Amino acid sequence: MPSSWLQFDAVPADIFALLTITAAFTSFFTACFGIGGGVMLLGVMAQVLPPQLIIPLHGVVQLGSNGGRVLLGWQHIQWRVIGAFLPGAIIGALLGSFVLVALPPSVMYLTIAAFILYSCWGPKLPKMVLGTLGTFMAGAMTTFISLFAGATGPLVAAFMKQLAVDRFRTVATFAMAMSLQHGVKIAVFEGMGVSLDDWWPVLVCMILSGALGTWIGFNMLKRLADKHFHTAFSVVLTLLAIRLIWQAIGQW
């Protein structure tokens, strides 16, 4: 039997089913509301996977999930935004590969939560921040943080929310940005010798179930009015920010 399937046999059936179902549900949720699924999935994976593998395994699943949304929403992607985001993501990943130390979780959680709440309910960010340089910096900072925190989707989404003008551009551009971010993050971990070979069978099943959830979610998205979408988007982000604040309190 190929060695790549050994870890598949080692995973208990209940955990395997939990991860597969969770991947489908969280992809469905993100396709509908644009954000939230990655954080939910990370929380579940953190309960059942080895600590040193949580972030890289989560990155692979999220790359597959966001990749599906990219294919479905390709024509809606704002390439000007992606063109500024990608170089920043690469630089952020390179800097993180040299540093890669654990920042105080409470500080990181509170910082992300504050930015999310400001982006949802505060005044709009200055045009300069939303321009090419601001998008570049967002790509660099969020990718750097993702190496330590795993799910920076809420932070990227809070920024993308200020840029996109309708629900399809919001979801598609966000999906493309996250695909690139997870891609460079995986490359960093692979370069540091973190092997995921034994986990590919489980990852493939999670990615396939996530694709199904994405397809169902995108069909639900078509039924949402832009006004209702942006309201739901802000509410979901706010709930995630509250969750991050609660996690920060728990670290004290």
Q: Exposed, middle or buried by CB within 10 Å (0-12, 13-18, 19+), for 13?
A: exposed
When pLDDT is averaged across residues 68-86 and rounded to a whole number, the result is 89
Task: Determine the residue type at 121.
Answer: W
Q: Residue 37 pLDDT > 90, yes or no?
A: no
Q: What is the mean pLDDT of the chain?
A: 78
Phi, psi of 129 (to 5 degrees): -70, -35
Structure tokens that stand for 11 in this block: 């995973």
Q: Residue 230 pLDDT > 70, yes or no?
A: no
Distance CA 34, CA 27 (A): 10
Q: Residue 224 pLDDT > 70, yes or no?
A: no
How does DSSP assign 42-59, residue by residue? Answer: HHHHHHHS-GGGHHHHHH
Q: What is the pLDDT of residue 23?
A: 92
Q: Cβ contacts of residue 93 below 8 Å, gap of 6+?
A: 143, 144, 147, 184, 185, 187, 188
Q: What is the pLDDT of residue 42?
A: 77
Encode pLDDT of 115-169 as tens digits: 667 767 877 655 555 677 888 988 898 888 877 766 677 778 777 766 656 778 8
